[in-house]
Amino acid sequence: MATPKGKVSKARRDSRRANWKLSLPGIVKCPRCQKMKLSHRVCKACGYYDGKQIVVVETKKAGSK
């Protein structure tokens, strides 16, 4: 089995571990209310997914906090 020839410093080790990239999540427009939402998930604004109402979303009243 191969063995390392020398010690890898903490800076070299940590810089190698820090260079992974996050990809952006799939954000799309809701076909019903046109707000941005994560794809393949229920819309938080209207509560619909795949043309069906999954969650009942209550609207905020103008006077309440």
Yes or no: say if 43 and 53 are a contact pair by the CB < 8 Å rule: no
Rounded to two decimals, what is the model's pTM?
0.55
Token pair recorded at residue 12 = 């070299």
Q: Give the pLDDT of residue 64.
A: 60
Yes or no: say if 48 and 42 are a contact pair by the CB < 8 Å rule: yes
Check whether 2 has a pLDDT greater than 70.
Answer: yes
pLDDT band at 17 (very low <50, low <70, confident <90, very high): very high
Token pair recorded at residue 14 = 């940590």
How confident is the model over 24-62, as pLDDT tens digits? 788 999 999 999 999 999 999 999 999 999 999 887 777
Q: 41 CB contacts (<8 Å, ≥6 apart)? A: 49
Q: 12 vs 7, 9, 16, 17, 41, CA distance in Å?
A: 10, 5, 6, 9, 40
Q: Give the pLDDT of residue 10.
A: 97
